[in-house]
Amino acid sequence: MDLAVFLAVLAAAACNAGWNAVVKGGGDALVTAAVMSVCGGLFSLPFLVAVGLPNVAAWPWVGASVAIHLVYFASLIEAYRHGDLGQIYPLARGGAPLMTGIASAIWVGERLSGIAWAGLLLLVVGVLTLSLGRGAAGRFNVRGVGFALTTAVTISTYSIVDGLGARASGDAAAYTLTLFVGCAVTMSLYAVARRGVSALAVDGRRWRIGLFGGAMQVVSYGIVVWAMTVAPIALVAALRETSVLFGALIAVAVLKERLDLGRVLSALLIVGGLAALRLA
């Protein structure tokens, strides 16, 4: 993988970990997701006016991605409602890259080298063990696990859809901005349908956090979408999940959480995976 693309996706992963750290503990998951989606759409709108809409060929992909993202948010919210964080997060984030690698090989025809598959597997194992080490204890909840696996499938699906859609668009920025505007509309309608208008009637602090998180979402995912136009979708999707490693670093450096042997070994697996993906 080209060094510039590699570093750009790592920066996007760090960005993703940053906004997750800020919004962590934001209370009601549905309200937080809706506010962030609305703010992401509002942040995107003026830039979309400046760059213009994507090509007509990209619109079916945008529509499909908006629908998939709605299922993603709905399943993730339900997963956290039924299961523990340590149980849900590893399944949702760690399972997606491997699914994406298999799906992109079958449906997109992207063939990965042996070293790329080795790197992907190392990274997935590292993400899973790092996440599990952060509190996987808790009762096993079948519904929670089911929704977590559904979330992983949606992550894999929208990754492939957005990679192909951005390629059809010819303009990753226009595609990404249109996507976030569409997600803002559907998520606000979904939240109002579930909770009424009170779902968006939150205080100024929540909107400020939402605006920050929404803007960071647009920037970080915009980089990922662009990267998928110039590099294999599966490798970009795998690199994106290094946000888990950056989140762990933030937890240790900023939140002063304990650095144990399990975290170190998981980090080494992820670094080994990154090295293999860079060489692929």
Rounded to an integer, the average pLDDT of 73-91 is 74
Would you say residue 209 has pLDDT above 80?
yes
- Of the listed ranges 35-39, 70-74, 267-271, the least confidently predicted one is 267-271
Query: Using CA atoms, how far apart are residues 272 and 249, in angstroms rounded to an integer?
Result: 17
CA distances (Å), 262 to each of 116, 132, 174, 272, in order?
25, 10, 42, 15
The predicted pLDDT at position 108 comes to: 84
* pLDDT band at 137; cut points 50, 70, 90: very low
Burial of 64 (0-12, 13-18, 19+ CB in 10 A): middle
* pLDDT band at 171; cut points 50, 70, 90: very high
Between 204 and 65, the higher pLDDT residue: 65
Query: Using CA atoms, how far apart are residues 139 and 29, in angstroms rounded to an integer?
Result: 21
Q: Give the start-to-end residue ranges of the domains of the chain.
A: 3-279
